[in-house]
Amino acid sequence: MTDYELIRSKRRSLELRVLEDGRVQVRAPQQTPLRMVQAFVASRSQWIAAQQERQAQRPRQRWHDGAAFVLRGKTLSLDVSEGATRVFVSGGYLTVRVSDSDQESSVKTAVQNWLRKQARAAFEDSIERQFDWFAAEGFSRPVLRVKSMRTRWGSLSARGYINLNLALLHYPPKALDYVVMHELCHLIHMNHGPGFHALMDARMPDWRQRKNLLDQPCYQP
């Protein structure tokens, strides 16, 4: 039996999460019987094992000078030195200027702040390029929210938000465009039934190949 942490909440359905350290969390409605929770976890045992293996393969991001950093599918080297805080790409380097270059925490903070700005611009561009067809169908463009998510690449809320994982900026642009198209298709089909897949095939015929890009290990912060 898989070990897991059970969290009771006001949610209406069971939710399973595999955290970055491999621990399993289950969120369940207050009145859900324990036997139902256990059966739910048992039914997902293969998925849990696959996710734990995937987490174990992901290398930890280091923040010192010369460390590798993956941006949009390309591996750069961190070029860290002291100076007024600034982050930019130059050739095969991600150049990072911070007041205390010996502190990896300072480098991490500077890069993540920069990465969030880059992500917002890239995500907005992807939505803009792919939304015209949905606009012609009468849909309003969802509002972007950039998030750090552990178990999802993206989601679409009934309140009109498209939530995209900050980590997508580490992957090739084709992978980002796939996730955006996936969420936009949920404007029409809220589930993953035949209608959803038919729409994905029509709007992005190579979406399965793009999705496979997200199975590659990538650095985690």
Q: Are residues 153 and 82 in the same domain?
A: yes
Average pLDDT over every residue of 48-54: 84
Q: How far is CA 32 from the centre of its chain?
A: 29
Q: Are residues 165 and 91 in the same domain?
A: yes
Kindly state whether residue 159 falls inside one of the protein's structural domains: yes
Q: Would you say residue 220 has pLDDT above 60?
A: no
Q: What distance in Å separates the CA atoms of residue 36 and residue 47, rounded to the nearest whole number?
A: 18
Kindly state whether residue 62 falls inside one of the protein's structural domains: no
- How many domains does the chain divide into? 2
Locate tokens 């939505």: which residue?
A: 127
Q: What distance in Å separates the CA atoms of residue 181 and residue 204, rounded to the nearest whole number?
A: 8
Cβ partners under 8 Å of residue 129, min gap 6: 177
- Does 155 or 50 have the greater pLDDT score? 155
- Using the 3D structure, point to which of 37, 57, 77 is the last residue of a domain: 57
Q: Are residues 103 and 136 in the same domain?
A: yes
Cβ partners under 8 Å of residue 13, min gap 6: 29
Q: Are residues 25 and 91 in the same domain?
A: no
Q: Are residues 51 and 140 in the same domain?
A: no
Query: Domain of 195: which CATH number?
Result: 3.30.2010.10
Kindly state whether residue 75 falls inside one of the protein's structural domains: yes
Q: Are residues 30 and 117 in the same domain?
A: no
| pLDDT score for 9 | 86
Kindly state whether residue 220 falls inside one of the protein's structural domains: no
Q: Are residues 26 and 88 in the same domain?
A: no
Q: Are residues 51 and 73 in the same domain?
A: no
Mean pLDDT of the chain: 92
pLDDT tens, residue by residue, 103-117? 899 999 999 999 999
- Using the 3D structure, point to which of 13, 28, 57 is the last residue of a domain: 57
> What is the domain range of residue 10?
5-57
Q: Are residues 169 and 205 in the same domain?
A: yes
pTM for the full model? 0.74
pLDDT tens, residue by residue, 79-138? 999 999 999 999 999 999 999 877 899 999 999 999 999 999 999 999 999 999 999 999
| pLDDT score for 218 | 66
Structure-token pair, residue 116: 């969030």
